[in-house]
Structures are given as C-alpha cells and as structure tokens.
Amino acid sequence: MRAHNDYRGEPDAGGHYGPYGGIYAPETLIQPLRELDAEFRRARRDPAFRRELDALLGAYAGRPTPLYFAERLTRALGGARIWLKREDLLHTGAHKINNVLGQMLLVRRMGKTRVIAETGAGQHGVATAAAAARFGLRCVIYMGAADARRQALNVDRMRLLGAEVREIAVGQQTLKEAINEAMRDWVTNVRTTHYVLGTVYGPHPYPVMVRVFQDVLGREARAQILRAEKRLPDVLVACVGGGSNALGLFHAFLRDRRVRMVGVEAGGRGPKLGDHAARFAGGRLGVLQGARTFVLQDGDGQIASTHSVSAGLDYAAVGPEHALLRDLGRAEYAFARDASALRAFRELSRLEGILPALESAHALAWVMRHAPRMKRSQLIVVNLSGRGDKDVAEVGRHLRLSGGASGA
Ligand SMILES: *Cc1c(COP(=O)(O)O)cnc(C)c1O
C-alpha cells in the first residue's frame, strides 16, 4: 500500500495515521483529551516550554546520552560497525524519563495536582514517581499484582519516591488490567488528575505527544553519528513494546530514505498465540485501549494473552504509527525469541561491560544475527533503551534453569 506516501511524520487532527490510531475513549474523556491536545500543541510552539524541558532533560535526566562505539562487539561479530545509543545511562534507567518530564510540564500548565500511571515492569512507574516527586504532585501507580510480585524492587523504589502503588488482583494481574484501572481512575478524577501514558499508544494525542517527547534521542543520535562517522547509518534498530523508544530513534531519520529502520518485537517462546507479543507477525486490525492498530486476538476477536521474558514488550497491541510505517514500507519489523534475547544480554554484558535491559536485548539479538552478514564499512545504530539491573534476577533464573551459568 502506498496511499500515504505524503506522510510527513504527523497524524491528522483526529490522531489518524492512515487507517490507524484515532480516539476510542469513553464520552467523559473526550473533552479532557481535547484539552490535553490543545495544551500540547500550544506548548510545542512555545520556546519557553522547550527551554525548560531541555534544562530538565539535561541536569535532571542526564541528556545528551552518549553514542558509543561497541568495538569488541563489532570485532566479535565481524561485520558492520555497531554504535549504541546509551539511553540506559539516563536517570531512573531507561528512555521513559524523556516523555515523563515533558508530560509533567504540561500537567503544571494545566493546573492539575495529581498524576496516575500504569506500569508493567515498573520502569514507567519509577520514572513517573520520580518526576512527580520533583514536581510536588500526588502520584498513584497501578500495577498488576503478578507484575508487582515479579518486580518487587521497582515497587519499593516507587514507594520510596512517595508514590502510592495500587496492586490490581483481577484477570491475568498484569499490564492490561492495570491500564483498565488507571482509565477508571482517570474518568472519576479527571478534573484534578492527569494520566501519564508511557508509550506511543492510547487515544490521540498520546501517540504523537509521546513521540515528540522521545524524538530528542534520535536527533542526538543523528548529529552524533554524522560527527563520528561523517555519514548516516545504514540501519537503525530498536525494540518495540508500545514503540516509543523506536519512534524516538526513527523520527529524525524518516526523510533519509536510504536509512533502514528495524523494529524488533518479542517473539517469546514461539509462534503459538499466547506465547509471544509479535503483533506484526500474528496480529490483525482491531481496537484496544484507545487506538485502532495491530492487535493479537483469537478468532472471535478476544484479546489474546501474551508472553515475553521482558515485561516491557509484553502487550497485545502496538503503537498506531508503527502500523502505518510498516504499510508504507518505511520501517520493517522482526521479532526475537526469549532465548535469543537472553543470549544477547549475556554477550553484551561480557563483551562491553554493559548490562542491557531485556527489552533492549531483543534489538541486540537482531544485530547479532544480521551484523555478521553486513560489510565492515556499514553502520548500525542500536537503541539501548534501558539498563539491565532490573532484570538480573530474571536472567539469573533462566540461566540456572538452562544450566548455562558457568563461564564459557
Ligand atoms: C518500557 C520499555 C520498553 C518498551 O517501551 P517502548 O514504548 O516500546 O519503548 C523498552 N525498553 C525499556 C528499557 C523499557 O523500559
């Protein structure tokens, strides 16, 4: 399909990316979403907003992050030169803080006093709790009870940062249930409360707003690779949960038609429905939690359960802009299985002394497979979306189970 060839990286006024996106929300939220959209558009044009956000991204979050040449990984794979965008070095450990700080400034402009968020692995919850403390806002984080047990450290971090963590013990007790509860809270308290969504998903304006707050990382990466290598990269690679770190990287390169863009989804245990979160491999068009996009569902349209070793990629739907970029052939999507991601986690740790988040390890798994077949003159930029400290227990458990923990 080439019907949207004039696509310039922005949705229409209703938040449509071609046939995807839109506003699927309860009646009571339509007006608050419109107000959020209006405030976002005003802020986006306001140089004072940009200056304040840039200052926070610098001194509080730690931007700019380095673009690091992975020399030993490059040599071990024997092909393309591999550069890592180091979002793992940011405050609270992942790219999530970029978006959260932008939304907090909007909250202040709108005069709201309370923020809510939902979180799977806890990374978005921790970023939101930290920024809420920084801005003096009340903060409630919704989390599935099963996720809260698996990510006890992040639950403790959020509570120490002053947030109230509400554990949801219905259904699968994971992210989908937490989102439903957060939506319910928002409908009830919308006059005082802002819902801090953590990825390029949900009803308009969230997908475009979160993308705009994340694209700083791609603008940095583009300038950094041009400075270091005097040319553009051949391939960009990023993992795709909702898709915010990937769009953050891709957007600055959208018009550089020769730069390939690869998004890597969670292939989980295998191709059976329920065993993975590869929406582009096994999903079809549907509506879930605010947006029209690719959704994993059974023959009756019931939302499928999903699995990934990385909680941050474990969701049944994907951000609508990715669906359009795929239709246009501008971005391509692959998946990596749990086992490949775990191998990539170990490889990067041992070769470069960097523990990657298990989410980011999916992007690295693609690189480990494809870099050896590329020329030594070619360049890959991989987004290292977060650090792996949160995943140490999970990785240890898998390595012990497979008997592979001893040194090779
Ligand atoms: C949340 C998270 C992701 C997935 O979210 P996207 O919106 O797809 O970026 C990826 N990596 C890390 C480290 C995360 O915390």
Q: How confident is the model at residue 407 (pLDDT cuts 50, 70, 90)?
A: very low
Cα of 394 from ligand 1 centre, angstroms? 17
Better-predicted residue by pLDDT, 172 or 83: 83
pLDDT at 2: 46
Top CATH class, 23-58+96-206? alpha beta
The rounded mean pLDDT for the chain is 95
With vertex at residue 199, the alpha carbon angle to CA 154 and CA 360, rounded to the nearest 5 degrees, is 65
- As a whole number of angstroms, the distance between CA 361 and CA 336 comes to 9
Atom of ligand 1 nearest to the CA of 241: 8
Q: What kind and span of H or E run contains 336?
A: strand 332-337
Site to substitute for ligand 1 among 89, 313, 348, most atoms within 8 A of C-beta: 313
Q: What is the pTM of this model?
A: 0.96
Residue with tokens 């491999």: 281
Beta-strand relationship, 260-268 and 16-17: unpaired
Q: Does the annotation mark 39 as catalytic?
A: no
pLDDT of residue 399: 84
pLDDT tens for residues 339-389?
Answer: 999 999 999 999 999 999 999 999 999 999 999 999 999 999 999 999 999
Joined together, the tokens standing for residue 281 give: 């491999």
> Are the C-beta atoms of residues 85 and 67 closer than 8 Å to each other?
yes
Residue owning the nearest CA to atom 1 of ligand 1: 312
Q: Could you say which of 39, 87, 112, 118 is catalytic?
A: 118
Strand order through the sheet with 164-168: 164-168, 138-144, 114-118, 193-195
For residues 213 and 98, is the Cβ–Cβ distance under 8 A? yes
Choose the catalytic residue: 96, 112, 176, 390.
96
Q: Which amino acid is at 338?
A: D
Which helix H or strand E contains 335, and what residues bound it? strand 332-337
CATH of domain 62-93+215-407: 3.40.50.1100
**What's CA 370's distance to the chain center, in Å?**
22
Residue 320 contacts by C-beta under 8 Å, 6 or more apart in sequence?
11, 17, 20, 21, 22, 200, 201, 207, 291, 292, 293
Confidence of residue 406 (pLDDT cuts 50, 70, 90): very low
Q: Could you check whether 23-58+96-206 and 62-93+215-407 share the same CATH topology?
A: yes
Break the chain into its structural domains and give their ranges: 23-58+96-206, 62-93+215-407
Q: Which of 90, 95, 119, 213 to mutate to test the pocket of ligand 1 (most atoms within 8 A of CB)?
A: 95
Please give the DSSP secondary-structure letter assigned to residue 202: S
